[in-house]
Structure 1
């Protein structure tokens, strides 16, 4: 039996799947199985996977069920003592599995290991790195305020922890990973690998509409999280909303190419200040506001507008 099961949910991933699979097969720790769940792809995803000759790779095809369902199908196929996921367009540094496994072995009480995240563009070039976080042990309150894990391609989870938390919520169209990390954090300590090991790919196509979908799902996930949270943590909700609306504003500012997107950024900054009026003197909020003004002027003055 392999020590680790790596699960890749893949839907029409022909542009990136080979690079993602290569970043797993080239890991310094090699005792793993690689399970690709083909989620009803209509392109050459499966054909490309068939060109890979590595006995650790297993491909299972299903009708399209969506990302959470594909992850759940991967879990049901997993034989490893530890399970980790990577989306079909993301990458890992070569020592990701080795260091996360070592962290969990050194902390037998912990159920989840996570690393720091970098963002890359469609060509694989580095865009920016998320600021390091050092939360360990009981991280439930910090995770409730904001998803410092950042993507579904990050965590390594003990099989017992997954069995205790259940499956990913198939009704969520986005933020199903944050919802899942919260359910794990209620039950298990977390441990951090203090290195940027996750390369999270941001694609520019129709980004504004993707942010709209993510925002709608996240608000459902936030509502669900606080219904489950104990009374002593209910006071954190405004902090969660403030943090989330600032994050939405940053995404709109980073990816919008028209005034409609910039207007949405401004609206989200307003929502952040309404949830917590004190945020307006926060340095990060002020820098977002200045960025908003600059983007508004640049797009407003552009000849294509």
Structure 2
């Protein structure tokens, strides 16, 4: 698929009226899960609602998520406006757990994250500003920095655009967004791509995000990537919890 020439994005305001919900499906891997959520809370620069989905965990994940939500709702973290924990009694799939979280979220802007990521300082604000103000962007994601490699995962894709003054690009190639990456989208776009988030036929995991990207392409929406926002992905941690099927 050929990439379109990136176009000049309009300036975005410092403030915007959108309510933001962050959805994180979780299954076991308690240590990296809590490390990831701590990173999320302490490195997010805008107010947000946190929706956690415990997808049939068999370790201490469920209890730990409830304790975190209690502390959030008691005001321990002022940037988090509220927290909910949803529980699946048995393991379902990444797609089903994610759909449950998105349905429960109250935000106009939805942020989808895995439970095995670390976030750079002030990572979310730039993403939400793009998603909230540019109607041509279907989803926007941060710059992926791989923990186990000494180069940017996206570097071989967007090197030619490094001189862009806007410091982010928009194109019609989903390769810009890494599989399993966190991304931000307007809730309203779901109505244009079948009314649902992830296709639950992709179970237990893999390719549900690529299917979403392709559905966005069919309605003329594009993909955004900004280097003003970075994250680390401990790849394989989440998937290592998935039984062979």
TM-score by length of structure 1 reads 0.59
The 1-side partners of 2:119 and 2:137 are apart by 22
More strand by share: 2
Q: Residue in 2 aligned with 1:169?
A: 199
CA contact (8 A) 1:2 1:32 kept: no
Structure 2 gaps of 5+ residues are 1-16, 74-81, 162-167
Distance 1:2 1:137 in 2: 21
Contact 1:17/1:88 (8 A) holds in 2: yes
Inter-CA distance 77–2: structure 2 relative to 1 (3 Å threshold):
farther
Look up the match of 2:104.
Answer: 77
**Runs of 5+ in structure 1 lacking a partner?**
214-305
Q: In the alignment, is the contact (CA less than 8 A) between 1:103 and 1:193 conserved in 2? A: no
Q: Distance in 1 between matches of 2:186 and 2:132?
A: 10
CA distance in 1 between counterparts of 2:26 and 2:96 reads 11
Q: CA deviation at 1:138?
A: 4.9
- Structure 1 SS opposite 2:67: coil
Distance in 2, Cα, partners of 1:154 & 1:206: 15
| 2:196 maps to 1:181 | no
Q: CA deviation at 1:204?
A: 7.7
Task: Give the alignment's TM-score, normalised by structure 2.
Answer: 0.72
Equivalent of residue 88 in structure 1, options 109, 115, 119: 115
CA contact (8 A) 2:109 2:132 kept: no
Instruction: Note if contact 1:38-1:59 (Cα within 8 Å) is conserved in structure 2.
Output: yes
Q: Number of residues paired by the alignment?
A: 201
Q: Is the 8 A contact 2:116 2:237 kept in 1?
A: no
**For the residues of structure 1 that align with 2:21 and 2:55, how far apart are their CA atoms?**
18
Displaced runs of 4 or more, over 3 A:
134-138, 203-207
| Partner deviation per Cα, 1:275-300 (whole Å, 9 max, x = no partner) | xxxxxxxxxxxxxxxxxxxxxxxxxx
Aligned: 1:153 with 2:185: no
Q: CA RMSD in A?
A: 2.8
Q: Distance in 1 between matches of 2:123 and 2:116?
A: 16
- Structure showing greater relative contact order (alpha-carbon pairs closer than 8 Å, 6 or more residues apart): 2
Alpha-carbon distance between aligned partners in 2 of 1:150 and 1:199, rounded to the nearest angstrom: 12
Change over 3 Å in CA distance of 1:203–1:109 after alignment to 2: closer
